[in-house]
Structure 1
Amino acid sequence: MTEQTSSVEDAAATPVEDATPTPVEDGTTTPVEAPAALPPAPEEAPAVAAPEAVPTAVDPEVPSTAVGAEVPPAPVRKDRRVLRALLRWTAATVVFAAVGTSVAYGITRMDRTDVPGLATESDGRWDYPTITRPPLPSGSPRPLAESNRTGTHYADLRRLVLPAPKGAHADAALRGTDGWLATKTFLAEYATRDDRETVGQQLTDNGLRHIAARGWTTPDGTHTRIYLLQFDSVVVADEVNSPGLTSYNMPNYALRGAERTMADDRFPDRAAVDDVVRHAYDEIKPYGAEQVRQAYLSAGDTLALIVQSRKGTAKAVPFQQTVVLQSQLLG
């Protein structure tokens, strides 16, 4: 149904930070200390008493030394040469060991693509800008905090919509008025008139407050639309999500160009964000003019719909990356 994808934990390449990020340790490497300088070789090797000569074999060609005869001292010059050579080799070994250690440490600190011969091609992730949660009003809890029983997003909802990745062209139709989108523009995502009327009535009955949205098209032709719908409480948003708009196997209402859609079973469960309910769906082959991917997210008092479509096939990795990042922003 869809191509096999890499880990979505990796796909979310741009972590979501709070407005005042916590400092982290920098990635600089620790310099390797140079080995301590060795002491200079002594000018004279200390005199060592020669052991008493005890012949172990008799060679007829070499006269033996009588027991008790005086033995001449060993040549000092030769000992000095041996000692100095030994010191030089020891110093060289220490230096090469230190240099080798620093090189190995540097290699382990490099990114894979920084090491010649180990570069890898992109897996399709988009280059999102630094993503930061907007600040909360003083004394206000996070939407999914235990103390926030209504799940209210106290931050401006318009600042909780995921920004477009680098190189994308913004969709002016989703800018709305002052950043708020008309409900009819959101309802235009659904395939039939009857479905648009039914969904619209659900939103009215459940007290929809407003909709924030953003859309863009990347150079490869992928069109992304993100809608955030805010209600009065987490209880209401959950009801609109399920059983209102979603079910386990398929969405309750088809989107334009995706009349035959089923649950995306290749979206890894380990990519879930705590306390954010996700329903991801993928169009069933044969696709129409475009392949359509979609996901509903329920987080506190807010319901999100993310749609990606592309002529031919819509790639799984950027879709999963977008869903995970938007989940983190709402969490």
Structure 2
Amino acid sequence: MPGVPLTNEQRFALIQKYIERMPSLSTTVTKVLEVCNRPSTSANDLNRVIALDPVLTGQVLKLINSAYYSLPNQISSLTRAIIMLGINTVKNLALSTAVLGSMGRQDSFRSLSMDAFWTHSLCVGVLAKALAGLKKIPGMMQEEFFVAGLLHDLGKIPLNNCFAEEYRQALELSTIEQGSLPKAEEIMLGFDHGHAGKMIADKWQLSQALTELLRFHHSPENASPNNRQLISVVALANAYANLFDVGSAGDRFPDTSRVDELLLQVGLKWHDLSSLHAVVEQEIEKAQVFLQIAREAA
């Protein structure tokens, strides 16, 4: 009957169907991820895959020549770009631009502001990468932290799209109660964006680290030990972005009692975090290129 409220089980089934109908990652991106996950992969192996896709070739060249890397000379060779960026960075570029191209459009946002959402996401990505640097994580691995931060809130996009009115109510509830958005999502929908994020990761067959990141970025202690550092760093960067209102993904009242706990888990002091404020603002500007590249390809 029209007007009869949906049960939580019906909402969960609807979001599953919505995510199942989402486009799969392109054949090229899937192949890039597969090739990059081989221990013996070389820049030439990756070049052979990307060279067959003019769009991805253009994206790689645009990124290497952007302010994000600030190189003194223009790079026009795909092979040289792959060598200079590194296999890991090219893999992350392919993945992030494919995801943003699929889910980053204006029509994906009904209850959340698209611009505020992506500003928040860029802040979390940039800060997570900066914190990885403070932790002396090797440079080639730091891009993993950026992409994890950039994509951490993907689960909110199908929720705000499928259940626009209920999601508005969840946003209002978290504001009135001055409580966390995941709790309000649970009350209004029966599940939170972490559940939806895991469904997206399963659909796209993302790595275990990204799958757990999408599911557990509000509770890193539930992640497997191998992925806990990555997820704790992103959780800390997320708390920072929310506390300082850098963009907004709707969670305006994060649990501040968790910040000290996250700092302890990550092994940093509040001063380490706050000292990065100016750097983060500059890096967010540079990282806008990821959104621009994705929108041009969409």
The alignment's TM-score, normalised by the length of structure 2, stands at: 0.27
Give the number of the structure whose residues are more often strand, by fraction: 1
Give the number of the structure whose residues are more often helix, by fraction: 2
Larger radius of gyration: 1
